[in-house]
Amino acid sequence: MPNSFRTLSKTLTRSFSTKSSHQNHHQKTHKYLDPNSLLGSWKTPNNPKEAEKKLALLRRDYAKQVKNVRKEYIHEMELLRLEKLRKEEARKEAIRVANEERKRLKAEAAKVRAQERMVAEEEFRQTLLKERAEKLENWRMKLDFF
């Protein structure tokens, strides 16, 4: 019985862990760099001038490496910026095309409504003319009757 309680408490503790699943996934999939050749390469020289020379060389090599890493980083950031800019321009172009299409459809719908309105007005005029003609004929017939 105590073992089952312990396993249950461990399971619950794991399920309520404060680490996010993204962080856990990142920790599992992270690829570490190869060990740097500078690490552990320092052998203590006998005289201080030689030590200064070796230290200066190490510093110079380290500065070169840092400079290269910074160049790579700047290059990667520039590529990311260009990619983001390209995506933003593509998005704006898509919005512009959609707006133009919407305006075109709206204009076509307005033309169709205008044509329908003109047809309806023409039919109304024809009906009025026909009714006036009928009234006039009816009036003439009544006058001829008297």
**pLDDT digits 0-9 by tens, 25-45:** 777 787 777 777 766 777 777
pTM confidence score? 0.47
Which positions ≥6 away from 44 have C-beta within 8 Å?
51
Q: Helix or strand or coil: residue 73?
A: helix
pLDDT value, residue 94 = 97
CA torsion, ordered 45, 49, 54, 55, to nearest 10 deg: 110
> In the numeric block, which tokens belong to residue 39?
């690490």
